[in-house]
Amino acid sequence: MTTFIERTPATRLTYFKASLAYLGFMTVWVYAFANTQRHVPGLFILLALMAGMLVHFGAGFAMPRQETFALLAFPPLLAILGPGVNSLLWVPLVLMMVFPGAPLVLLGLWLRNHLDPQEVEDYWF
């Protein structure tokens, strides 16, 4: 975990890259998986749901800020406003962003804040 923390420092560039990765993945996830009308094998459903969970945890871990929760509004808004998306898809997406999406982002945020090494400054003595 510490190597991942070192690779994702708390900078604007890291937040920008993580936000783009989240938005890109969720766009593909909504259009390719959630919006499909075809029969999907059970193993693929399990893998797609687990990938979504990992992305939510990773977003909270890579961007340990409360503003990360604003990204959770993207999939339901995409379902409402996006072209070619089923009009009733936004309801399950809202429910999925509330649980398990928000708790996974919170877990990643909490874990990052507790694993990140804290530096003690000497001048306060």
pLDDT number for residue 120: 58
Is residue 35 assigned to a domain? yes
Which sign, positive or negative, has the C-alpha torsion 75, 103, 18, 12? Answer: positive
Residue ranges of the chain with pLDDT lower than 70? 1-2, 4, 117-125
The boundaries of the domain holding residue 27 are 2-116
pLDDT number for residue 29: 92
Contact 86, 35 (CB under 8 A): yes
Give 62-88 pLDDT, tens digit per residue: 888 888 999 999 999 999 998 888 888
Is residue 123 assigned to a domain? no
Is residue 125 assigned to a domain? no
Is residue 78 assigned to a domain? yes
Is residue 23 assigned to a domain? yes
What one-character-per-residue DSSP string does 52-78 give?
HHHHHHHHHHHS-SGGGGGGGGHHHHH
